[in-house]
Amino acid sequence: MLIIGIAGGTGCGKTTVVNQIINQLPDEEVGVISQDSYYNDLSHLSYEERSKINFDHPRAIDFDLLASHLDSLRNGEVIDQPVYSFSKHNRTKDILRTHPRKVMIIEGILIMTNPKIRDMFDIKIYVHADSDERLIRRLRRDINERGRDLNEVLNRYQTTLKPMHNQFIEPTKEYADIIIPNNKFNTVAIDIVRTIINEKLN
C-alpha cells in the first residue's frame, strides 16, 4: 500500500489537488481519508463548550485513532471512519466503512504536525496558496457550506486560524517531498505525483 499525505493551510485547495491526482487513476485502487473525520469525540461537552475549542491546534485531532486505522488498512483490514459534523462541532453516530486500497491519500491541514503519522507517509505533499486567496476560499466555504456568518469566520481567522497556521502548519512545509503551488502552474507537479503512483501500482 502506498500512503500519500497532502497538507497545507485552510482553503489552500487540498481537495482540488486530491481530485486532480485521482482523476486518472482507477476508482477501485485509490481511497481518500480526511483529517476532518478524526477530530476528537467531544460528546461529553455542551455545544457552547465545543464551539470555543481551537480546532486548528494539533491537540484537536485524534492522531492515535488515525494511526491505528492506517495500520489496519496496511494490514488489509477494513476500518470504520468516524463522520464529523461541522455544524455541531462533533462526531455524529454514523461511520464510513473504508476498505484498503493500493493507494490511500490522507489530506488535512495538521496531518504533518504529528511525527508518527508523518512517518507513515510514503509521499508527503504540501499545497501552497497565497494567504489572501486562502481567506477568500475559507469565507466562501464556511458561509455557504457550514452556515457560519461573516463576522464569526473573520474573527476565527484572526484569532485562531492565522496564528495556528504560522505556528503549526506553515513549518510542516519543510517535511514535504513535493510542494504544489495551487494555481494554473501546478500541472507538472500533479503529473509527477501521478507518474509515481502509476509506477507503484504497476
pTM comes to 0.87
Residue 121 is predicted with a pLDDT of 97
CB 80 within 8 A of CB 96: yes
**61, containing H or E segment:** none
Residue 137 is predicted with a pLDDT of 77
| Of the candidates 202, 201, 189, the residue with the CA atom closest to the CA atom of residue 21 | 189
d(CA 111, CA 117): 7
Fold of 2-197: Rossmann fold (3.40.50)
DSSP alpha helix (H) spans, the chain: 14-22, 47-51, 63-74, 115-119, 131-144, 150-156, 162-164, 187-201
Q: Where are the domains of the chain?
A: 2-197
Each residue's pLDDT, cut to its tens digit, for the chain (202 residues) gives 999 999 998 878 888 889 888 887 887 889 999 999 999 999 999 999 998 899 999 999 999 999 999 999 999 999 999 999 988 889 999 999 999 999 999 999 999 999 999 999 999 999 988 777 777 777 887 787 776 777 877 887 788 888 898 999 999 999 999 998 876 557 788 888 888 888 877 7
CB 123 within 8 A of CB 4: yes
